């Protein structure tokens, strides 16, 4: 089993909240490796929405992502991609006329 680690800066404007957490948890369903996200001397299982929410990481927070397993590198890059990229812009709902 291999272990990979990467330090990242959280680039999500509203911090680590439900939408990006859902993207992380959903994306990790295809991987077998164990992942954790570390912040401020705390560690969260990246597959647990509750654990990630309890980190209370805000925009600009330094995070460390650690992955262990056969597909660790790919799983880590999936999580890093969410953490380092701002959320997609959502169009406001159209008002009926």
Question: What is the rounded average pLDDT for all residues in the chain?
Answer: 92
Per-residue pLDDT tens over the stretch 49-93: 999 999 999 999 999 999 999 999 999 999 999 999 876 666 677
Which residue in 28, 90, 21 sits closest to 56, CA to CA? Answer: 21
Q: What does the pLDDT read at residue 93?
A: 74
- Give CA torsion, residues 66, 68, 73, 74, to 10 deg: -100
- Residue 17, token pair as written in the block: 């909240």
- Report the pLDDT averaged over residues 14-38: 95
pTM: 0.86
- Report the pLDDT averaged over residues 16-31: 95
Instruction: Name the region of 86 (left: φ>0; alpha: ψ -120 to 50; beta: rest).
Output: beta
Domains of the chain with bracketed CATH? 2-84 (3.30.1340.10)
């Amino acid at each position: 089993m291999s272990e990979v680690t990467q330090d990242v800066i959280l680039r999500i404007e509203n911090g680590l909240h439900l939408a990006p957490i859902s993207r992380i948890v959903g994306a990790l369903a295809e991987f077998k490796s164990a992942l954790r996200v570390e912040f401020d001397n705390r560690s969260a299982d990246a597959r647990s929405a509750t654990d990630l929410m309890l980190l209370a990481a805000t925009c600009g927070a330094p995070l460390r992502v650690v992955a262990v397993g056969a597909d660790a590198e790919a799983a880590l890059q999936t999580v890093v991609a969410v953490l380092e990229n701002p959320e997609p812009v959502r169009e406001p709902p159209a008002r009926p006329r």
